[in-house]
Structure 1
Amino acid sequence: MAFEKTPGWLDWYAGPTKPRFKLPAGAVDAHCHVFGPGAEFPFAAERKYTPCDASKRQLYALRDHLGFARNVVVQATCHGADNRAMVDALTHSNGRARGIATVRKSVGDAELLAMHEAGVRGVRFNFVKRLVDFTPKDELMEIAGRIAKLGWHVVIYFEAVDLPELWDFFTALPTIIVVDHMGRPDLGKPIDGEEFGLFVKFMEQHPNVWSKVSCPERLSIAGPPALGGERHPYRDVIPFARRIVETFPDRVLWGTDWPHPNLKGHMPDDGLLVDFIPHIATTPELQRKLLVDNPMRLYWPEEV
């Protein structure tokens, strides 16, 4: 089946540099996606965007190029609740990938068990209104109760301005909660201000809450460096991500977000994104927790 990409869609950067930062042995890219390929795994009719193809083969080639050992593949919204492309990536990873699914209330127990066998370890609830349609919270809570029995967790994606409205729902979830991209803080507001302070309070008060300190390319106002400029771009994101890493060192994860869906303005060099890591996790101990110990404990506990 042929799909026409969303106008202005930015394809992933095909020539990433080799990172200067050497990842610790066993490092996990804990947030990435696959798109299709559309001819094999069609995109959902209800999707809000149509991406380029980004296959499992290309994802795992990037993993090896950057120096990661494993991946966590998060279901892309363009595939809706059809998890076949993500599950296919897991089953062809030789045990080196785990997955996060999107499911509806109607999902059967047999399907959940099959996904568990394939390596799925969580479900994602997306509250970013421009990306998904609203799902009633009682349905999401029912899903959370069912997947909790499998030992799965819930990944939540929201924007900082919406945290007050979502607080009660999030704090009632019966699982570990992993927040995508620090809840997308507004970097135009102060790090010690009310909005980011509420997110820090959310993590302080609820020890089941983890955070990904990923996607500086999405959060930054300053943007990437000019061609030939500094090696570590997105300077304005560093204080926010470092605050989370240093305050909650045992509950943080990092991922590339490849192939960077719905990104506007520029497409990042994934090698430069890896070189961002030592600026937010500044010691070997913090780097190992962020990239190895924490994701292994969450996604491969049987090997810890």
Structure 2
Amino acid sequence: MPAGACDCHVHVYGPPERFPFVESHRDRSPDGPASALEAMHESVGVERSVIVHPPGHGADLAVTIDAMEAGEREYRAIALVEPSISDGRFEELNGLGFCGVRYSPTLDGGALDKRAVLEMAERIKPLGWHMLLHFKGNAILNYADLLERMPIPFVLDHFGGVDPATGGTNQDSFKLVAEHIGDGNGWVKTSAIEKVSRQSYPFEDSVEIAAAFVSIAPDRVLWGTDWPHPGVGKQATDDVDLVSLIPMYATDDDIQQKILVHNPATLYGFG
């Protein structure tokens, strides 16, 4: 890994005796304490990381804040928040290294309130934050107008939800992501590649989509492991093996430097 490499999508879970899970996620949240995250990043050579606060802990951000303060790497974080959050609390979180808010139809009852998302975007705009959006499959097509109206930068995690099995780079969901990263406010993460893929390792169907994103907008592509791989369980691919996939779609040193170092530094404000 190059110096300053960033894993742009990880989560921290528990331990539950210190950081209880919300009831709805008690049986669905994996084991993923901060100490194990540190060990993983040490093994793959990552110096920076973006912790995406997991739904398993609701809007209580304590587990993410603790991981940022206890860890040995340079961190940023993405929050889950209630609409009632105060401006003062946003200022506190900004000082702690938070730099965005995440929304997902999957996590928010199956649909996003577009007006509420846009209102939140206006609230965090003065902080220089961005919006992290999580879609699955073609769900992103239902929010094309939201993306068009977004007043701040937005990041689409996990390939924007583009499913290799439903048309690859020829489908409308891919074209929508490509439009916004190529000539708009958008960024895309090649995170959770094993979730997105319909194949076994080395996930060539997802690698093909990642390569297409890179060819369109190499300055707007980010990389992340999605550690500890929620929803994958014990079948999760070793993170060292995930790192080895990067040269398959970022095929030269300059592109890898952009995806792993320069792009994260630009978006997340790493020094």
Shorter-chain-normalised TM-score: which range?
A: over 0.9
The partner residue of 2:196 within 204, 219, 230 is: 219
Give TM-score scaled by structure 1 length. Answer: 0.83
Which deviates more from structure 2 when the two are superposed, residues 160-169 or residues 252-261?
A: 160-169
Report the Cα distance in structure 1 between the residues aligned to 2:180 and 2:95, rounded to whole angstroms: 32
Gaps of 5+ in 1: 1-22, 225-232
The partner residue of 1:105 within 83, 87, 106 is: 83
Structure 1 position 290 matched with structure 2 position 259: yes
The partner residue of 2:134 within 140, 157, 161 is: 157
Shift of 1:265: 8.0
Q: Which residue of 1 aligns with 2:104?
A: 126
Q: Which residue of 2 aligns with 1:185?
A: 162
Identity of aligned residues (%): 35
Residue type at the aligned position of 2:93: M
Residue type at the aligned position of 1:253: L
Structure 1 position 234 matched with structure 2 position 212: no
Which deviates more from structure 2 when the two are superposed, residues 85-94 or residues 108-117?
A: 85-94
Residue type at the aligned position of 1:218: K
Report the Cα distance in structure 2 between the residues aligned to 1:108 and 1:95, rounded to whole angstroms: 29
Residue type at the aligned position of 2:18: E
Residue type at the aligned position of 1:155: L
Q: Which residue of 2 aligns with 1:56?
A: 34
Q: Could you say which structure has the larger radius of gyration?
A: 1
The partner residue of 1:115 within 85, 93, 97 is: 93
Give TM-score scaled by structure 2 length. Answer: 0.93
Report the Cα distance in structure 1 between the residues aligned to 2:102 and 2:52, rounded to whole angstroms: 8
Structure 1 position 41 matched with structure 2 position 22: no
Tell me the SS of whatever aligns to 1:52. Answer: coil
Gaps of 5+ in 2: none
Tell me the SS of whatever aligns to 1:30. Answer: strand
Deviations 1:16-63 (A, max 9, x none): xxxxxxx11110011000001111111123438532331111111111
Conserved 8 A contact 2:30-2:233:
no
Conserved 8 A contact 1:104-1:143:
no
Tell me the SS of whatever aligns to 1:104. Answer: coil
Report the Cα distance in structure 1 between the residues aligned to 2:29 and 2:169, rounded to whole angstroms: 37
Higher relative contact order (CA 8 A, sep 6+): 1
Report the Cα distance in structure 1 between the residues aligned to 2:148 and 2:162, rounded to whole angstroms: 19
User: Relative to total residues, which structure has the larger helix share, 1 or 2?
Assistant: 2
Residue type at the aligned position of 1:84: A
The partner residue of 2:122 within 145, 154, 163 is: 145
Shift of 1:159: 1.9
| Count of equivalent residues | 269
Conserved 8 A contact 2:15-2:31:
yes
Report the Cα distance in structure 2 between the residues aligned to 1:42 and 1:297, rounded to whole angstroms: 34
Conserved 8 A contact 2:102-2:131:
yes
Shift of 1:194: 2.8
The 5-angstrom pairing of residues 236-275 of structure 1 reads: 236-263=205-232, 266-275=235-244
Q: Which residue of 1 aligns with 2:9?
A: 31
> Which runs of 4 or more aligned residues in structure 1 lie more than 6 Å from their structure 2 counterparts after TM superposition?
none
Alignment RMSD, CA only?
1.8
Tell me the SS of whatever aligns to 1:63. Answer: helix
Deviations 1:190-229 (A, max 9, x none): 33423322332233342x10000122200111122xxxxx
Conserved 8 A contact 1:213-1:245:
no
Q: Which residue of 2 aligns with 1:198?
A: 176
Residue type at the aligned position of 2:170: G
Conserved 8 A contact 1:35-1:54:
yes
The change in CA–CA distance for 1:95 and 1:192 in structure 2 (over 3 A counts) is closer
